[in-house]
Amino acid sequence: MATDIFRRAALMGIGIMSLTEEKVKELVKELESKGEVTEKEGKELLKDLIAKADKEKKTIEENIKKGIKDYLAKVNIASREDMIKLEKRVNGLEEKVRELIKTVEA
């Protein structure tokens, strides 16, 4: 349930960023058509604004990841990394048990 909330928040953030990019493109085209910026200035402005939006998107993604990680630690739920470590330990123990069974049977 909580991870679903985080997933929805992430998708909303990404959706907002893509919507913003489209709006920025429209705004720049409007400024160009009104003659307030040249085509070259418009391209530079668009490039700068998209770069800033990408940077903000990455920041949002990092914050969401950190929030999820903090939440999982708070509610004491194992992370994927924890599960991988545990699986490796179990596999190692299974191998040792097989070796012990072989020595007992021999």
Residue 75 DSSP SS3: coil
Mean pLDDT across the chain, nearest whole number?
80
How would DSSP label each residue in 51-97?
Answer: HHHHHHHHHHHHHHHHHHHHHHHHTT---HHHHHHHHHHHHHHHHHH
Tell me the C-alpha distance between 10 and 62, whole Å. 10
Task: Kindly indicate the confidence band of residue 1, based on its pLDDT and cuts at 50, 70 and 90.
Answer: very low
The reported pTM is 0.48
- Using one digit for the tens of pLDDT, what is the confidence trace for 46-56? 888 778 778 88
Task: Kindly indicate the confidence band of residue 78, based on its pLDDT and cuts at 50, 70 and 90.
Answer: confident
